[in-house]
């Protein structure tokens, strides 16, 4: 398993989660320009990264 790559994926997922939390908070406080599809893009990318992480973690170590 490529631990460096996996570590980068974890960091990227954390970054995207933070951006999504900020986006959701802005939406809760009524910022009008928030509903621009950004949340869908972030959720899609988070899903892709999470799937990639799960795949890497499920592979047997060599």
Domain of 47? Answer: 3-58
Listed residue (2, 12, 6, 3) closest to 46, CA to CA: 12
Q: pLDDT-derived band of residue 62, with 50, 70 and 90 as boundaries? A: low
Give the mean pLDDT of 8-12.
98
CB 49 within 8 A of CB 13: yes
- For 55, the token pair is 């795949």
Give the mean pLDDT of 33-49.
87
Q: pLDDT-derived band of residue 30, with 50, 70 and 90 as boundaries? A: confident
CB 12 within 8 A of CB 49: yes
Q: In the chain, pLDDT over 90 holds for what percent of residues?
A: 58
Describe the crossing of helices 3-28 and 38-58 by its angle, rounded to 10 degrees.
Answer: 150
Provide the number of structural domains found in the chain. Answer: 1
């Amino acid at each position: 398993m490529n631990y460096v790559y996996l570590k980068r994926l974890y960091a990227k997922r954390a970054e995207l989660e933070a951006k999504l939390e900020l986006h959701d908070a802005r939406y809760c406080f009524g910022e009008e320009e928030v509903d621009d599809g950004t949340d869908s893009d972030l959720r899609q990318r988070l899903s892709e990264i999470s799937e990639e992480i799960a795949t890497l973690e499920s592979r047997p170590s060599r």
